[in-house]
Structure 1
Amino acid sequence: MKIINKSFVIFKKLFLGILLFLFIYFLCAFLFSKITVNSDAENQSKDVTIYIKTNGVHTDIIVPVKNEIKNWSSQIMFENTKSKDTTAKYLAFGWGDKGFYLDTPEWSDLKASTAFNAAFALGNSAIHTTFYKSIKENNDCVKIIISKENYKDLVTYIEDSFQFGKNQNPIFIPSTTYGKNDSFYEAKGKYNLFHTCNSWANNALKSANQKAAFWTVTDSGIFYHYQ
């Protein structure tokens, strides 16, 4: 009987500890996402148009396929997409857990093991790229015009997120894609409860000296600063 009571006490403390952790986690995620960094971004020069785009859960950073600063098509190959269409003008980047990306095309496909591995940094990461011919602005897609200097910093941030092969190009992942114009590449870093796909996108904006949340794990934490 004593053993049962002791086990119950331990379980109760563990359960309460988990509840307390979750309360603090979500409270901090909410409060920190409302704090704006780089609030003076509007006063900067306007040279390069980029976009932030969400699918309701995940945020992508969208940039020109090529300009005088960077030609992404020399590294993110059109040939790695199903359509192989070279007329695209924009390229989206999203970082995330490799298991989520490759094994969970729909939320109905999500496995408990995939979610556990992602939450506790047990998996690898990948970058999802998508070519677009045009971009339509709406509540889920916001245009941001930044300076050339800030775009250079954004390029550096994105490049530093890739794993590169012996040919000095990002390592392509042959896999099932979401559509005809996207592809996957090996990435650096680990997805976890404190560094999600949206944290990566938020940090991308920070690197480009643009408005961003102090810290966020959600897409709403990013778009809050662009309402």
Structure 2
Amino acid sequence: MPLAALVLLLLTGTLVPINRKFRETPGGIPVFVASNGLHTDVVVPTQDARTGLDWRPLLTASGQPARPAAYPFVAFGWGNAGFYRSSRGGHTPGVGTTLRAALPSPTLLHVSWCAGPPQPGTRVAALRISAAQYEALAATIRASFQADSVGRFVPAVMLGYTAQDHFFEARGRYHVLRTCNDWTNRILRRAGLRAALKAPLAGSVLYQVQHVPKTRNH
């Protein structure tokens, strides 16, 4: 693909909505897209009675410490393994790490336990979705984890940044056309939620989610 065409796709893909007819489900399951300005996470309930989905056994069966009920939400982010390692201690990944990430490279899933829902704002978009949409969203997240021979998620050797987060081995390769934000965008798109045609940047994902028409009884 010529460079000019690639740049055009990345820039205009933000403005082109997929699943443009998506509308929120009043009283539906709360999900969030949260950004730190560069990276996006999908935040969901730790357990949901309507679908019966409970993330705790899935995320603790692989030797990870159990988390108490004080963490009602859990955040998922997918990204370049080198970026995650270079970000320890609040550091910004260097130029070398950034350039290497442009080529296909290993990935990790970052899982963070949350004491409450993110507060909607410039960098956080909130949605209410149906049980069927949530099950589809959760299935795509689960499919991003590497699993062992008996289906358990494989924990990464790398420790988390805090006591409330940890890393797992992930499926897929990171590169310039498959970024962390593209992963978040794909999670939304496959669940039938409004998403961008292409979302290389955090703002690309949030732009479409924040343009979902709000419903009454939200």
* TM-score for the superposition, normalised by structure 1: 0.83
Counterparts in 2 of 1:1-227, with a 5 A limit? 21=3, 23-42=4-23, 44=25, 46-68=27-49, 69=51, 70-77=53-60, 80=64, 84-105=67-88, 106-110=90-94, 112=96, 114-121=97-104, 123-135=105-117, 136-225=119-208, 226-227=210-211
Runs of 4 or more consecutive aligned structure 1 residues displaced over 3 Å after TM superposition: 43-46, 83-86, 106-109
CA distance 1:108–1:210, change in 2 (3 Å): closer
Q: CA deviation at 1:180?
A: 2.1
Partner of 1:13: none
Q: CA RMSD in A?
A: 2.2
Q: CA deviation at 1:86?
A: 4.2
Unaligned segments of structure 2, at least 5 residues: 212-218
Q: CA deviation at 1:104?
A: 3.0
Q: CA deviation at 1:186?
A: 0.4
What SS is found at the alignment partner of 1:42? coil
Q: CA deviation at 1:101?
A: 1.0
Q: CA deviation at 1:175?
A: 2.1
- Percent identity of the aligned residues? 23
Which structure has the larger Rg? 1
Q: CA deviation at 1:47?
A: 2.0
The structure in which a higher percent of residues are helix is 1
CA distance 1:49–1:84, change in 2 (3 Å): closer
**Conservation of the 8 A alpha-carbon contact between 2:24 and 2:128:** no
Aligned length, in residue pairs? 205
Task: Give the partner amino acid of 1:223.
Answer: L
Q: CA deviation at 1:51?
A: 0.4
What SS is found at the alignment partner of 2:112? strand
* TM-score for the superposition, normalised by structure 2: 0.86
**Conservation of the 8 A alpha-carbon contact between 1:29 and 1:215:** yes
Partner of 2:216: none
